Amino acid sequence: MALGLLGVIVILTVNLVLVATVVQRPSLLGVAGGRVLVFVTIVVLPILGFTIGFAEHAEEAKRTEFCVSCHVMEPYGRSLLIDSADHLPASHFQNAHVDHEHACYVCHTSYAMFGDIQAKLNGLQHLYVNYVSGVQGPIELYRPYQNRECLFCHGGARYFDESDIHIDIRPELERNETSCLECHTLSHDVAELSSLDVWEPGR
């Protein structure tokens, strides 16, 4: 949404001021122009504010900070700092192959509220589990990791397309019959996190 956070705040604040005005002067209902103002204030502007505010919150939800704000996700955030080029998420993060501000979303585009209806319902369930029932056992993806997330960036890149091993299995990769993770096996590796060296930016 082009309006951005400032635009949302301006619209909601103007709406709030107008609501305070019409509530203090309900006699506005007695004149035609006043009724239009009341209708715009109580019905039209709140719908507009909700629509662009929702879009702004959805945009904010793509931020790394948002994803790792739940306790259970903290190790996954820390795994981006594993000091090893073999760990894919860490390697991508530390070499700026993914935008640091949107590090999770770049590789998990169909997750929770950004996926289909089922994914959105799963996102709500995550909240329930996180705050009410509690997380049981290790967390896992709902379905195997999709190669399209990798191919979105790597597919079409010269170093990828001209690699013999990739040329041989390219059709299987595109059909998701062979997972990229079958060869590139190290991902977040949170189970081993405490025993792995961690990169400290700036040192």
Site for another protein in 159-198 (CB under 8 A): none
At its nearest, how many Å lie between another protein and the CB of residue 60? 5
Q: Which residues face 198 on adjacent strands?
A: 82
Site for another protein in 41-100 (CB under 8 A): 41-43, 46, 49-50, 53-54, 56-57, 60-61, 63, 65-66, 69-70
Please select the residue that binds another protein; options are 4, 29, 161, 183, rule is CB under 8 A: 29
At its nearest, how many Å lie between another protein and the CB of residue 150? 27
At its nearest, how many Å lie between another protein and the CB of residue 119? 14
Using a 10 angstrom Cβ sphere, with 0-12 exposed, 13-18 middle and 19 or more buried, the burial of residue 85 is exposed
Please write down the HEC assignment for all residues of 27-50. Answer: HHHHCHHHHHHHHHHHHHHHHHHH
3-state percent helix, strand, coil for the chain, nearest multiple of 5: 65, 0, 30
Segment 112-117 long-range contacts (CB within 8 Å, at least 24 positions apart): 112/61, 113/58, 113/61, 114/58, 114/61, 114/62
Classified as helix, coil or strand, 101 is: helix
Site for another protein in 130-159 (CB under 8 A): 130-131
> Binding residues for another protein, per CB under 8 A?
5, 8-9, 12-13, 15-16, 19-20, 22-23, 26-27, 29-30, 38, 41-43, 46, 49-50, 53-54, 56-57, 60-61, 63, 65-66, 69-70, 113, 126-127, 130-131
